[in-house]
Amino acid sequence: MQLNALACCFPAQCMSNTGKFQLSNQLGASMGDLFWNKVAGVLIGGVLIVIVIKELGHILIPSHAVTLDEEHVAYPVDWAAIEGEGGGEAVVEESGPVDYGLLLAAADLTNGERQFRRCAGCHTIEEGGASVQGPNLYDIVGNAVAARAGFSYSGALPAGEWSYENLNLFIENPRGYAPGTAMNFNGLGNEGHRIDLIAYLRAQSNNPQPLPAPLPAEAPAEDAAAEEAGEE
């Protein structure tokens, strides 16, 4: 009787143990899936938080990026040297004579003063100013070249006077205008900036040089052709 009872209980116990093992495997698989789901959720959540913080930063703190030009630098920069570093051959454009009368009359003295900052490390501009690395430039327009008393010139400058044209050519390319010059300046390539600078230099005088008369307007090509046909 007892053996029968024991025999009846034993299979049930085996089945119970088997069920527990299967249940344990199912729970283990479920826990593994849950773990990896949590890891994926944390990663996705982290990425979303970074994106949200970045966008909020752009909204709350607008960008203050500025264009690098004359108005956004703390000290004079030799832009001509920087612009000349690019590769390739420069494109030479044909142009007629410079109309100094027209350009100087419309010059921007404020910009001219700004352009002079690139010269201020070597030159003074006020009346009676001392010569530093270069001569004082007060009342320089219209005066003789290399004639400042008390300054030792290199001898590279050609004789003459600082006319508007000579100043323009020298400021554009000092070494081309005066080969062998000791002036440590690569030149100012922008014609508008040069004209503004020359106008500013002209204004630094008790008796500024008169402006040249504007060049006569060129006759339109059609009118010129008609005149030539009439002469024939």
pLDDT at 34 over 50: yes
Q: Which amino acid is at 90?
A: A
pLDDT at 21 over 90: no
pLDDT the model gives residue 99:
93
pLDDT per position as a tens digit, 36-45: 788 888 889 8
Q: Give the CA angle between residues 84, 89, 95 to the nearest 5°.
A: 85
pLDDT the model gives residue 85:
46
SS3 144: strand
Which one, of 111, 122, 103, 127, lies nearest residue 214 by Cα?
A: 103
Helix 191-203 vs helix 164-172: crossing angle, to nearest 10? 130
Q: Average pLDDT for residues 115-139, to the nearest whole number?
A: 93
Q: What is the 3-state secondary structure (H, E, C) of 57-118?
A: HHHHCCCCCCCCCHHHCCCCCCHHHHHCCCCCCCCCCCCCCCCHHHHHHCCCHHHHHHHHCC
DSSP annotation of 208 reads P
pLDDT the model gives residue 139:
96
CATH for 98-203 (3.40.50.1110, 3.10.620.30, 1.10.630.10, 1.10.760.10): 1.10.760.10
| Most confident among 58-62, 131-135, 221-225 (mean pLDDT) | 131-135
Better-scored residue on pLDDT, 192 or 55: 192
Answer yes or no: pTM beyond 0.85: no
Cβ-contact 36, 44 below 8 angstroms: no
pLDDT per position as a tens digit, 144-203: 999 998 899 988 999 999 999 999 999 999 999 999 998 888 999 999 999 999 999 999
pLDDT per position as a tens digit, 116-126: 999 999 999 99
